[in-house]
Structure 1
């Protein structure tokens, strides 16, 4: 805490000196704040330009300005600004399934889209090349299909693009737990006519954790992009993303139940019983090495004033190799101690690959009396190849280890883990070798019969051609399954561009493949699982666009879900039925406001009521019922303090049932930041979790989260 106080005092002194020696020379900061913080209009998420006020779906967005002001460096941390989104699981970096997971509207989701195309990132996603994050709420299978569209919503990261002038910024960042980072953003026209443009964003981070400050986790991001404007009608874009990670995973506690914990059913009481929140139960060198390579190519062609073509090609590859420790806690009746068991499930040269070709045509026609018609029509080919390799310990590394006496846990390290894998009979292996080709065609139409009234209709046809292969412990034969996904929506602007009422029907689906139908081991191809949403609400865009608010009620019903019957075959395959039904309904209120000069607010509250209709219980992966988020920021735009800004924000979550009978406690996490922005440099600082809250997230698990931490930034602009 002493170091924190010294850091804040030093920062305050620097800020006071900076505001005396330089000023921010910008005449339109008001407009910049409104456009970047308040406006949520999008050209991407609906595959056509739509203003928020005329869109029947709910869209949340987080701009790079918000990330910069809050000193946010990863997409995971950016999620704190999205109403109704709850982070559940930090990325494990395992190829195929290692990305971070969140909950939206009671359903799990992850960050699988970049600029509207499938680009899964299985490592922690650096925010260095993020222009904006967009979260389109509800099932969006019509535009995005079954492979990435969670029933709760999709997350689409919009990347920075080259522009026509030379500019750049280099930053040095340091903070708690041996955190240090260097990053750069450089843009330059390559040719004198400024048709060929280049931009590169790159960052390197080295950090420990609050449990293991010397862990030296490293994260590297390298994301160059190239744009060639061949003419007023023809544009070529090429982007590359590479993320390299060498890190020890977050501490995950599995198998939590009152029956094995002497009646304790929540993490707060388990801490009181002696589980040390700050303890690391690992030694050295239990790293996973991972990398992600994404290549994105695009050709945009303006056929005429009404028709545009966009041809997109995307290739995404993930690789991982190394340890993946995880833990459980139990109560020992003989010693009357709570003990931790330590496990591992490593990857060994695990790979995943996604190749996508997508063609879109956009039509936009205006007619007399305010009539307008906008259409996107396209087709999509996606090839998915999984070559996942897993090896695991059949027994805990150490059957039990005391959890309350400050023991030395360094014996669980890279050397001893390798020796444990060499013990005969102590190792299990499972692989995933599966290829799927997905063919899709879709259309979405926005018709404006009179000014202020928008009618939306759309449909998608998708065919999934599974080539067969090994899926975990079971050989799976090929299958082909097709489905339609319709959508409809209506928006009426009661006050043009200021106040609208909207309603939508959204649909999505997924193929669950084969399931075991009886104890004899017979299998059948399941019907497509389907989700249907009905939603209605209001949107406002008031006070010259300075107050943007959305309130909505949604009801999502899922049918044809696979459910276990409690029976098993002789080879321990679970017998299932496809009669499962889930309902998720709730209310969301989101507000982005620029209340007075220099003062902006981002905030929201979300309530979700999810229920497994066969049991009447809330599904264990639905997250908390109540979520809130807020951030208030003030920046001096005039006078001697011009360029100085401050912010405070936070998130709350209600109790989270993660296993059916075990709970993560409710929490309130508060953050603060300050910055000084001048023409040539920027100084910033933040204090995350400044109340030092012990809080847990989890996806059927309990994962302790970062304690108070301070970060300071110095950036030079050129």
Structure 2
């Protein structure tokens, strides 16, 4: 069993790392090509593709316009650069073995198409992303990074006609949606499962950016799904043991351009979106971009009254580059929504599955298409995120980046939900025959509820040689404040019979709920906590040889909970946690195959104390998760095949568990010795086998169980761990040339095995059945127009998602779209 690193082991790893630093004169020197890509005014251009002709070597420039490519040997190379809105450019560069050569590029605005330049290794495989500056908080290629992550880029989002982050996650291996967004302040966003643990989308460009309603994809450049415990660089407040989701947003650029799109389809769906960019001054050092979308959709459960979701998303961004060393970005995300909550059906907590007469969602007496609620059960929600980024290039080797982020959510209104309850439980035991003939209907409203999160983060990045060893370093300071002022209230409103002809299910409505609360004031559940977290972290990627690199990182985290109310009063407490991270990468074939291994760590802060059977009090330690992982990353066939295969083992320790309550003293006896295991394997494949044909696929297996906990769930799979087997695939063909250039078709889908949403001795086992959902799209992409149509759930599959809940999903739908590009 893996355990947290004691101080002796941490010291050993630190000593080994320092030893590596002393091997400079024994290590093989690297042959590097680096430089900057700028416009005529000297302002850096980010996102430009830089590649070495005739090889699979290539990368994208970072936000400072800089790039670095590691060459296998010296020689004469043709290096090309391309960026949308600029003329492609090529230069011949001679590099000596073991030395670093610099080549800068100055691009001229123009309208030549990206595919007119013969630069290998970057966009041949258009769905592949070979590097990220966020995953490791430094520019790092996927092959050099010992951590596993998957990226869903804008090309795939456009081809699939994706409008939300929820739909984008269907392309990430091992990620399963578990809960619909409710819009409630503080906890209302979508929840997913990754590696047996629940995660949510709370990060944007590497810092806090929570959205509690459906997250619109109108401002999404790419979605990064980062796997495994990641507290060392990201902390614990915004991540989980399964990983994290990071939304990378669209940035302003230097030419006038944009897109306007209209879409419409099934269940009253209609949408309008806009993406407009323009420079604001003559020398193009100031640029503005606006992304926005309005979307409306009815609930597919449309027999009689239908629910609805109405969202507005506005995302302005401003980029100012007063010098070639300084870049300032200011942007915002404003989300406004009104919705009727999706029908979340819980298993009644005072019931047993054996009382139902069935144990699977597809056996329930619920009508899949029926809405069991009426009008007026609406909720208003708002999320407002404000961001500032100041990046200053101190020298060619060092950069300073300052982030300021504010994330605020608000909600007010009704939150309907339901209980599946047996006749035995509802009758108090007078009925003895298993069966379910009624549905409990309930509400949990929020009232003037707010949650604010502030983050200030300072990064210093360095890329330098120590002796002959290349070091890529990030040192960071982080302050995070979470200020909650949430008021939940409600309860069970009524009981409705099931499958009674002519019964009016609209009696559960806004007026009925208000009347019930007026007659009997409901209980309120407050969350008024204030939490400050102060952190410092450092990470170094050290190239020991041209093919071998090591990563070492550590975070020191000071957690300061000011106390308040978390449904009941809690005392103030403080905790300090240390989170180390280590990784090794060896490339037997340089820039094509890497073998990697990592140790990653996360933690969760716990309440301040607990008592044992003798009445002794103990200070609670932070709960910890430790991951060991290894695998292979591949970038072969001149960049046409990218793949990652990995095996991981995560052990959670220090889980606080209640043993029993002493009936004589009412003393709750606890122990902090609970454990949980999660292990599995994942495959991620992105391929371009022939021109025009692109394939995205993934497979994941996860085995999870409680190992040392209460007898009720010990040895069982957690009911939040999702389906153990998941698979995703998408295959598309786009005509690359000729009269029908830009015409394409896509087909794919997702598979999930049975999901146990209830799994205990006391209540039994309840299962959401496995499902296979197939989708397709057709599109015609012209220089100034794009026509597209998609059909989701081709086979009209009845399927459910949830953890502790069952939530019926949308049936077959079709949406058409037309866009004008300028």
Q: Note the aligned Cα RMSD (angstroms).
A: 2.1
Distance 1:406 1:43, change over 3 A: farther
Distance 1:339 1:225, change over 3 A: same
Secondary structure at the aligned position of 2:805 is classed as coil
Q: Distance in 2 between matches of 1:186 and 1:608?
A: 43
Distance 1:29 1:210, change over 3 A: farther
Q: Distance in 1 between matches of 2:528 and 2:619?
A: 19
Q: Distance in 2 between matches of 1:244 and 1:568?
A: 49
Distance 1:568 1:113, change over 3 A: farther
Q: Distance in 1 between matches of 2:668 and 2:500?
A: 37
TM-score w.r.t. the length of structure 1 is 0.92
Q: What is the CA distance between 1:25 and its match in structure 2?
A: 6.6
Secondary structure at the aligned position of 1:513 is classed as coil
Secondary structure at the aligned position of 2:529 is classed as strand
Q: Given the alignment, which residue of 468, 475, 483 partners 1:377?
A: 475
Counterpart for residue 9 of structure 1: none
Counterpart for residue 27 of structure 1: 115
Q: Which moved more, 1:379-388 or 1:204-213?
A: 204-213
Counterpart for residue 322 of structure 2: 230
Distance 1:547 1:419, change over 3 A: same
Gaps of 5+ in 2: 1-111, 425-430, 709-713, 760-764
Counterpart for residue 171 of structure 2: 81
Counterpart for residue 441 of structure 1: 536
Q: What is the CA distance between 1:197 and its match in structure 2?
A: 0.5
Counterpart for residue 655 of structure 1: 754
Counterpart for residue 407 of structure 1: 503
**Residues 181-230 of structure 1: CA deviation (Å, up to 9, x unaligned):** 00000000000100000000000001101113843421000000000001
Q: Given the alignment, which residue of 289, 307, 312 partners 2:403?
A: 312
Counterpart for residue 722 of structure 2: 623
**1:487-498 pair list within 5 angstroms:** 487-498=581-592
Q: What is the CA distance between 1:450 and its match in structure 2?
A: 1.1
Residue 640 (structure 2) pairs with residue 640 (structure 1):
no
Secondary structure at the aligned position of 2:688 is classed as strand
Q: What is the CA distance between 1:275 and its match in structure 2?
A: 1.6
Q: What is the CA distance between 1:524 and its match in structure 2?
A: 5.2
**1:28-47 pair list within 5 angstroms:** 28=116, 34=124, 36-47=126-137
**Residues 257-312 of structure 1: CA deviation (Å, up to 9, x unaligned):** 65464331111122xxx321111111012111000000000100000000000011
Counterpart for residue 71 of structure 2: none
Counterpart for residue 631 of structure 2: 537
Q: Distance in 2 between matches of 1:519 and 1:178?
A: 60
Q: Which moved more, 1:295-304 or 1:512-521?
A: 512-521
Counterpart for residue 446 of structure 2: 347
Counterpart for residue 461 of structure 1: 556
Distance 1:636 1:516, change over 3 A: same
Secondary structure at the aligned position of 1:67 is classed as helix
Counterpart for residue 546 of structure 1: 640
Distance 1:218 1:58, change over 3 A: same
Q: Which moved more, 1:460-469 or 1:359-368?
A: 359-368
TM-score w.r.t. the length of structure 2 is 0.81
Distance 1:132 1:310, change over 3 A: same
Q: Is the 8 A contact 2:306 2:371 kept in 1?
A: no
Gaps of 5+ in 1: 1-23
Q: Given the alignment, which residue of 484, 487, 492 partners 1:389?
A: 487
Distance 1:637 1:572, change over 3 A: farther
Residue 764 (structure 2) pairs with residue 669 (structure 1):
no
Counterpart for residue 692 of structure 1: 796
Secondary structure at the aligned position of 1:80 is classed as helix
Pick 1 or 2: higher relative contact order, CA cutoff 8 A, min separation 6: 1
Secondary structure at the aligned position of 2:127 is classed as helix
- State the number of aligned residues: 687
Q: Is the 8 A contact 2:276 2:291 kept in 1?
A: yes
Q: Distance in 1 between matches of 2:677 and 2:647?
A: 14
Counterpart for residue 423 of structure 1: 519
Residue 645 (structure 2) pairs with residue 583 (structure 1):
no
Q: What is the CA distance between 1:39 and its match in structure 2?
A: 2.3
Q: Distance in 2 between matches of 1:527 and 1:628?
A: 37
Q: Distance in 1 between matches of 2:240 and 2:126?
A: 27
Counterpart for residue 708 of structure 1: 812
Q: Distance in 2 between matches of 1:630 and 1:670?
A: 9
Q: Distance in 2 between matches of 1:25 and 1:453?
A: 37
Counterpart for residue 11 of structure 1: none
